[in-house]
Amino acid sequence: MYKLSDLINKLEKILTNKNLSETISLRISISENYDFQINNLVKHQNHQDIKEITESFSEVINDEPYIKNFEITEKYFINLEIDVDKFINDSRNFKQAIKDKDSKTIILDYGGPNIGKPLHVGHLRSLNLGRSLYQINKAAGHNVLSDIHMGDWGMPIAQIIGFIDHKNLDIEKVEIDDLEKIYPESSALYSANNDFKEIAQSINKELNQNKENVLKKWKKIKDISIDSLKQTLKILNHDFDSWMGESDVNHLIPKMINKLKKNKKISLDNGAYVSNLNSDPKILITKSDGSYLYLTTDLATVLNRIELNKFDKTLYIVDKRQKLHFEQLFKSIDYFDFGNEDYEHIAFGTINDSNGNPFRTRDGDTKKLIDLFEEASTYIKKININLDKKTNQLLSNTVLTFSDLITNRMTDYKFDLDKFTSINGKTGIYVQYAQVRAKKLIKNSDIEMKKLTVDISKIDDSDLNLIRGFMKFENYFNQAINNSEPHHLADYLYEISNLFNSMYQNVNILDNQNKVVKNNKLIISQYFIEYSEFLMDLLGLEPVEQM
Ligand code: ARG
């Protein structure tokens, strides 16, 4: 909680003076009477100066204007109660409070589609997590750059070109639907037929030699793919700052390899280049036939990004099954002295069907994202047939996003549209409905928002619970950004939506005879709208206006 960061700094200083350097972590209290808890002293209860430390802590906490009441228990748990009055009438700037003084430039590498293939369910988590982490880091004041990093080079493309030649298809007439069929067929033929394999391999060589007629075909395939990708991404409300891909760095690889060779960082081993870094398994930099690997391209991409962007950190939001790849990439960046930038693999688990198997279509293919979107849209129509097209689209995206993000990213989960479109439970529909209700309430009232303050002497428990809910925002934001885990914010959005609904259902607000009570509730509702809309923005959701 950044409003309390002064307090935290002072407490940390007290510990440092006693040679106990550690970060004080402010946790959400589990006790009903308190809002936050600090457990740092518990493990020091036998420290010789614990009395003195506790006294200094008490003094500092006493002086903190946002704390109304606190206790330090026998076991040295510290419980804090926030001054609700001060908090609620002083919390207009909650978006400002999360700004990081140390603004960084962060590249988010996510999406990662391969040309020739449509976006499918396997891309959903990367897209959702990537967009949300982008929003979260931006809200903290960082410079963010999203890069879709397309798989647009190498063997799979050579196979497609080979297949088109082999079947005498007119590439000028090939459309995205054809391409989506050609991709799996060409890769099956590659495995089954040696002649075709040789053809594809020689096309791949020509591609790497930039032979004009092959490049022309490659360009055509890439254009068709990107058109279709952009269309789908637009419907799903995704946008990328950079549309670079593997093909953009291919030309940098020979120079990179030469330099690594010169610096004795790699050696030849049966025709393949292997890193001299001692590691198990050995890190392969090129294949034995001299062709490049996934790792080779990612290394060159790093060099290219350093050259182009000057960044502090790159987050790779990619399936957890690629763990080894990223470990090898990060070790190599370090060993090859590419720079002091930070790199992190933001891994995630699999989406399964209701039987717990990887999500597929009835024919056994991976399900296309656009089809999943259509299914969600049909479900939404069942809830309310009268919704306009735009609202239906926003809600369908909410369904595809919220249930995905509320799951801890490392956990595999079952995709269940029945459950995800329910108006009850931890769903995107539920949180959308709560904010629509709040907006309607404000619209039907004649309240003037700017002048009013909450009169704390007239609030009831349901108001208090919601206000206390607001106080947790910074804490959850902190967890989300520090661990790259949007689920804290999704959970939190559900929590305050739930608290709002309790308040809303508790008394009739608009017809309330008591003007103070009515105003209080309307102002708190307005706060709720602001928190809810901001949280949605952080999760990559767009609030609807009606439902
Ligand atoms: N195209 C890759 C795949 O389909 C994902 C790319 C992830 N990003 C990266 N820089 N390696 O597996």
CA atoms within 13 A on the CB side of 213: 3
CA of 37 relative to ligand 1 center, distance in Å: 41
Structure confidence at residue 91 (pLDDT): 63
Report the pocket of ligand 1 as residue ranges, CB < 6 Å. 109, 112, 114, 149, 151, 298, 316, 318
Whether the Cβ atoms of residue 242 and residue 146 lie closer than 8 Å to each other: yes
Structure confidence at residue 87 (pLDDT): 84
**Pocket residue to mutate for ligand 1, from 294, 311, 322, most atoms within 8 A of Cβ:** 322
Cα 183 from Cα 151, distance rounded (Å): 13
Task: Provide the whole-model pTM.
Answer: 0.93
**Higher-confidence residue: 147 or 117?**
147
CA of 271 relative to ligand 1 center, distance in Å: 26
In this structure, the residue with its CA closest to atom 12 of ligand 1 is 112
Binned at pLDDT 50, 70 and 90, residue 1 comes out as very low
Tell me the average pLDDT across 451-477. 89
CA of 133 relative to ligand 1 center, distance in Å: 17
Cα 245 from Cα 222, distance rounded (Å): 11
Ligand 1: nearest atom to the Cα of 150: 1
Structure confidence at residue 194 (pLDDT): 95
Q: In 322-338, which positions are buried (b, 16+ CB within 10 angstroms) versus exposed (e)?
A: eeebbebbbebbebbee
Give the other-Cβ count within 10 Å of 379's Cβ.
18
Helices and strands of the chain, counted as H and E runs:
19, 12
CA of 112 relative to ligand 1 center, distance in Å: 5
Nearest to 429 by CA among 385, 375, 389, 392: 392
In this structure, the residue with its CA closest to atom 7 of ligand 1 is 112
Q: Which long-range contacts link 10-15 to residues 24+ away (Cβ below 8 Å)?
A: 10/60, 11/38, 11/40, 11/57, 11/60, 11/61, 14/53, 14/56, 14/57, 14/60, 15/40, 15/53
**Higher-confidence residue: 82 or 143?**
143
CA of 114 relative to ligand 1 center, distance in Å: 8
Whether the Cβ atoms of residue 295 and residue 284 lie closer than 8 Å to each other: yes
Ligand 1: nearest atom to the Cα of 318: 7
CA of 415 relative to ligand 1 center, distance in Å: 23
Written as one letter, the residue type at 75 is K
Tell me the average pLDDT across 37-53. 94
In this structure, the residue with its CA closest to atom 8 of ligand 1 is 112
CA dihedral 311, 316, 322, 324 (to 10 degrees): 30
